[in-house]
Structures are given as C-alpha cells and as structure tokens.
Amino acid sequence: MVQEKLLEILRCPACVKQGNGALTVYKDAWLICEDCRRKYPIVEDIPVMLIDEGSKWIDTAADDLKIPPEI
C-alpha cells in the first residue's frame, strides 16, 4: 500500500501543469487521474508515474483493470 503522505503530494504528470492532476486510489493497485482518466499502476507499493504507462490504460474502465497490475 502506498503511504498516505505520498498520495497527498502525487499528481498526474500529464495534467499537473494545466490542472489539478489529482489522483484517486483504486483497489490499492492503481492511481486514476481525476482530470484525464489516465491510470497509473502501483507495483510492489511503488506508483509507476510515467505518462506513457498511464496512457496505455486511459480507455480501460476501472473495473476492467488487472489486479495486480501487469506491466
């Protein structure tokens, strides 16, 4: 599980310059951007915050995301 302090400061790298880029935790395995809907996997308690990685899952519904994430 990602530490709460880290979640408070993490923002979507694609959206942070134009908007808030706030992230929501989904099933302790994904971070979902509230602005653009990119989905960033959490692997071994470490969020993979690469724009390309988040973009891979942008059109995938949250309920269809693999738990645990596969990279």
DSSP states along 2-70: --HHHHHH---TTTTTTS---EEEETTTEEEETTT--EEEEETTEE---HHHHHHTTTS-GGGS-SS--
- Given this model, what pLDDT does residue 38 score? 97
Higher pLDDT: 45 or 26? It is 26
**Annotation: CATH topology of 4-64:** N-terminal domain of TfIIb (2.20.25)
Whether the model pTM is above 0.85: yes
- Given this model, what pLDDT does residue 19 score? 82
Read off the tokens for 47: 């969020």
- Given this model, what pLDDT does residue 14 score? 96
% pLDDT > 90, the chain: 79
- Given this model, what pLDDT does residue 3 score? 80
Read off the tokens for 21: 């880029």
Residue 1 pLDDT level (bands cut at 50, 70, 90) = confident
Structural domain boundaries of the chain? 4-64
Read off the tokens for 39: 């989905």
